[in-house]
Structures are given as C-alpha cells and as structure tokens.
Amino acid sequence: MGQQAASKDTMSERECIHRRQDTEGEFYRGDSYVAALQRLRSDAAMKMASKVGAFFWSDAPHVRVWLCGDCAREVKLHKQT
C-alpha cells in the first residue's frame, strides 16, 4: 500500500488578518467558528470570513482558527468575563 495523504488527525491552523499585528487572541475549534459564522447575517458572515484564511467547511473539525479579541467578539466566540 502506498503512502497515504496527510492524516485527518493532523490539525490545520488558520488565523485572522490581525495575527501579524501582535494582537492578543486565542484559538477556537474550526467547527465552532463555522457554526458562529452561520448565525450571522450573510453580509456579516462574508465580511468576517474574508478576514480568516480559507478552508473547506467540511474540514472544520480538523482546523484550529486563531482570532483576535475583536474578531472573536464579531462572531460571538469571545470568552465572557
């Protein structure tokens, strides 16, 4: 049997556009991020999605998404204190 493609157990990472600005943030599960996008109005979801590296939504369980505090609040994934 030949060598298989990358294992589905391997986590991919995506990040919002603010990561390179040394902004504080944290990682969220890809499927939580996708579910949060789906709760937004379509125009707001498209705007937010354009701020994060693209991935197939079917791969969401295998993706970690880093969001700055502002982006996390925009999709309502921020930690409540």
**Residues pairing with 67 in the sheet:** 26
Q: Determine, yes or no, domain membership for 68.
A: no
Q: Determine, yes or no, domain membership for 41.
A: yes
Tens-place pLDDT, residues 64-74: 999 999 999 99
* pTM of structure: 0.80
DSSP 16: B
| E strand map for the chain | 12-15, 25-29, 63-68
Q: CA dihedral in degrees (53, 57, 59, 62; nearest 10)?
A: 70
Give the integer Cα–Cα distance in Å for 15 and 52: 5
Q: Determine, yes or no, domain membership for 21.
A: yes
Q: What number is the average pLDDT over the span 4-31?
A: 81
- In the structure, what pLDDT confidence band is assigned to residue 62 with cuts at 50, 70 and 90? very high
Predicted local distance difference test score (pLDDT) of residue 18: 92
Q: Determine, yes or no, domain membership for 45.
A: yes
Q: Determine, yes or no, domain membership for 1.
A: no
Tens-place pLDDT, residues 49-58: 999 999 998 9
Query: Residue 7 above 60 pLDDT?
Result: no
Look at the chain and report how many structural domains it folds into: 1
For all residues of the chain together, what is the average pLDDT?
Answer: 86
Residue 32 structural domain: 12-57
Report helix, strand or coil for 66. Answer: strand
